[in-house]
Amino acid sequence: MSRNDEVATLLEEFADLLDAQRVEYKPRSYRRAAENIREYPKPIEQLAAEGQDEVEEISGVGDAISSKVVEYFETGTIGELEDLREELPVDMAGLTSVEGVGPKTVGDLYEALGITTLDELEAAAEAGEIQEIKGYGAKTEENILENIPFARQSRERELLGDARPLADGVLDYLRDVDAVDRADVAGSIRRWKETIGDVDVLVASESGEAVVDAFTEWPEADTTIEAGTSKASVRAGGIRVDLRVVVPDEFGSALQYFTGSKDHNVHLRNLAIDRDLKMNEYGIFDVSDVEDASDQRAGTRVGGKTEEEMYAALDLPLVSPELREDTGEIEAARDGDLPDLLALDDIRGDLHTHTDWSDGNNTIAEMVAGAAERGYDYHVVTDHATGPGMVGGVGLDDETLREQMDAVSEVAADADIAVLHGVEANIDDEGGVSVADDLLAELDLVVASPHSALGQDRETATDRIVRAIEHPSVDIIGHPTGRLINSRPGLELDYERVAEAAVEHGTALEVNANPHRLDLNDAGVRAAVEAGATIAVNTDAHRPETLDFTRYGVHTARRGWAEAADVLNTRDVDGLREFLH
């Protein structure tokens, strides 16, 4: 965890504790400051060393917050935060991981029942004590109890967006170590699953001890959990990172084996057995003349230095890691039908972004410049409209949205790339769209997204999204389920019905690349691709830096078997306009 993340997390805790005490206004200021510090390109510790004035260069950080940041780096604590913790000694992160339990609810539960932990919350709900609190009822208690298992599960796994940068960092570090021949990640993080248990790192080297020594000295490692001659584990930023060192000739087989998934590997091993071959982490071996094949390396080794050798021994092409879930990829490989998966470089623009006109952090011009720096051909401004699910006055009403048209046109006139004007409208409980129809028709692009009533049953939720798809001005359904990974489940949808409606009405379905969303997920993408629906991979960026989230969306789309031709924003600007109009 960087120091920026560290400080941001403290400020978010500060906001939650203030919220729990029902302090007005301040919590929002602390959260905005936390968000901006987390994304600030310079190390916060350097700014703090130079004084409050330097810290206040960060948008949203005023005198009160900057003084606390400086205090933290000078003393290791924030006195006012320590006081708040004493006043409200609760596991805020654990309790608020339960859907429907926010900081204010945590405050109420502590005041009424002394609840401080998830276990205590569960016990109180099971005993029927929560419904006895004024303002709470049996339904609230029932919802809390139902959502606790999801909260427990979510706390056991890390977001891909938190773990992947850490994995990239340790790979960069290890690849600079002299003793390292090759290094890569394995496991679920290499398959780009949306959450991971830990980070698995595989290294090829003739000197395991030298690699382990270097690994345990990795500057990002907070603690060493264990260290041997060829294996080690550390904890960095709260995430466990496991290292395994193998000899170079066995790197390919080990990488294939430890990448998984288990079901994919079992299927491959069964194919190998049918050919008198044995496949494991040490290689693939011909055991046709071997009486006792219990030795892992028994037989004649026919592959293992590379992954390609492992698959080739079974007359298969290399299967991309994202597809290795035993959902038909082995059959497709055998039949020559593997998809030509979408690549990051295929993306030519972002169709869902925000500016400081709503809840973004940067101007229209700054967001467009960020897109141009990434080599995009076009950029679409889609600030939030008012409507259900929008709180704090962040949404634009119709009059303000019309005013924004002129502002976007001014930026577009001077931009090096095409700039389009759109909106992120809200899908209400019935599937209606929260912007006037005549205004929607004037915009270049309309994203419609659900932000509220996310607990609807599957049929009702699907009807709602299909109704929005049918709206003649809606071009893209944004984050179709509205989920936040590890925070709230979102709508349960019949993906096949949604995809069929999208095909019929020429509406794209978004893969929201924000690592907290990844919505559509891989299953939703697969259903869309199989139905022939169009996908849009967007970041929902609120600042230029988060345009980089595109890679998470691309890999999610790859997990859903998406090719470039399936994705709207792989088209040039003329192709995009043709789809829209």
Location of structure tokens 């690849």: 175
* pLDDT tens-digit series, residues 106-128: 999 999 999 999 999 999 999 99
- Report whether pLDDT(393) > 60: no
Domain residue spans of the chain: 3-156, 158-246, 260-334, 344-580
482 class by beta-carbon count within 10 Å (0-12 exposed, 13-18 middle, 19+ buried)? buried
* pLDDT tens-digit series, residues 326-359: 999 999 999 999 999 999 999 999 999 999 999 8
* pLDDT tens-digit series, residues 58-84: 888 999 999 999 999 999 899 999 999
- Report whether pLDDT(390) > 60: no
- How far are the Cα atoms of 306, 394, 403 from residue 400, in angstroms, in the given order? 58, 12, 5
- How far are the Cα atoms of 5, 161, 165, 321, 339 from residue 189, in angstroms, in the given order? 21, 10, 11, 10, 21
> What are 386's two structure tokens?
């008012």
Question: Quick check: pTM over 0.75?
Answer: yes
Q: What percent of the chain has pLDDT over 90?
A: 81
Q: What CATH topology corresponds to 158-246?
A: Beta Polymerase; domain 2 (3.30.460)
- How far are the Cα atoms of 84, 256, 314, 333 from residue 326, in angstroms, in the given order? 50, 14, 16, 11
Q: Across residues 475-480, what is the average pLDDT?
A: 98
Q: What CATH topology corresponds to 344-580?
A: TIM Barrel (3.20.20)
Q: What is the pLDDT of residue 462?
A: 98
Rounded-to-integer distance, Cα 119 and Cα 98, Å? 12
* pLDDT tens-digit series, residues 149-158: 878 876 778 9
Who has greater pLDDT, 33 or 558? 558
Is CATH 1.10.150.110 correct for 3-156? Answer: yes
How far apart, in Å, do the first and last CA atoms of the chain sit?
Answer: 45
Identify which of 578, 575, 520 has the alpha carbon closest to the alpha carbon of residue 346.
Answer: 575
In whole numbers, what is the pLDDT of the chain averaged over residues?
A: 93
What is the architecture, at CATH level 2, of domain 260-334? 2-Layer Sandwich (3.30)
Establish whether domains 260-334 and 344-580 are of one fold. Answer: no
> What are 223's two structure tokens?
């603690």
